[in-house]
Homo-oligomer: A and B are copies of this chain.
Amino acid sequence: MNKSILDVIHSSAEDLHAAGVMDLATLREFDALCLPPVEKYTASQIKSIRTHIKVSQGVFAAYLNTSISTVQKWEQGTKKPNGPSLKLLNLVAKKGLDVLA
A residues at B contact (CB < 8 Å)? 24-25, 28-29, 31-32, 35-36, 38, 53-56, 58-59, 62-67, 70, 81-88, 91, 97, 99-101
Q: Would you list the 8 A-B pairs with minimal beta carbon distance, nearest first?
A: A65-B87, A65-B83, A84-B85, A66-B83, A32-B62, A32-B59, A28-B55, A84-B84
For A88, list chain B residues within 8 Å (CB). Answer: 84, 87-88
Please name the residue on chain B nearest to A101 by beta carbon: B35
Query: Do the beta carbons of A101 and B64 come within 8 Å of each other?
Result: no
Bound together, the chains give a CA A33 to CA B70 distance in angstroms of 19
Closest to A67 in B: B83
Please give the distance in Å from A26's CB to the nearest CB on chain B. 10
Chain B residue at minimal CB-CB distance from A58:
B32
Q: How far is the CA of A70 from the CA of B87 in the complex (A)?
A: 15
A100 to chain B, nearest CB (A): 7
Chain B residue nearest in CB terms to A99: B99
